[in-house]
Amino acid sequence: DSGVTQTPKHLITATGQRVTLRCSPRSGDLSVYWYQQSLDQGLQFLIHYYNGEERAKGNILERFSAQQFPDLHSELNLSSLELGDSALYFCASSVWGLTDTQYFGPGTRLTVL
């Protein structure tokens, strides 16, 4: 158990819908990262937040947005969902930034029908 929690574990929804994925980092970690793992692609970096501020952005679609709240938990919002958004979404946390060890959560499996 890495100490990073993600909810929900599984999510099934329809095309066009909007969902929110939640991540709670390890106690004391200030950075949160979001990743997407889809079947046809490997692990892809989406976005990095540090202490509530966006620090780096990867291949995150405009339909997706994220934020990190004052209590340091983070949410990833996915809207206008398409079939291709079906994937495993991981959250990770680290104490500071990207030169620190990242601890991954168990992931949220999103299925868009």
Partner 1 sequence: ILNVEQSPQSLHVQEGDSTNFTCSFPSSNFYALHWYRWETAKSPEALFVMTLNGDEKKKGRISATLNTKEGYSYLYIKGSQPEDSATYLCAFWTGNQFYFGTGTSLTVIP
Return residues touching partner 1 (CB under 8 A). Answer: 2, 33, 42-45, 48, 56-58, 90, 92, 98-107
* Residue (49 or 90) nearer to partner 1, CB: 90
Q: From CA 50, how far away is CA 95, in angstroms rounded?
A: 9
> Can you spell out the DSSP letters for 34-69?
EEEE-TTS-EEEEEEEETTEEEEE-S--TTEEEEE-
Two structure tokens written together for 9:
């574990």
In whole angstroms, how close is the CB of 45 to partner 1 at the nearest point?
Answer: 4
- Phi/psi for 111 (5° steps) reads -120, 125
* Residue (11 or 90) nearer to partner 1, CB: 90
* Residue (81 or 87) nearer to partner 1, CB: 87
In whole angstroms, how close is the CB of 17 to partner 1 at the nearest point?
Answer: 26
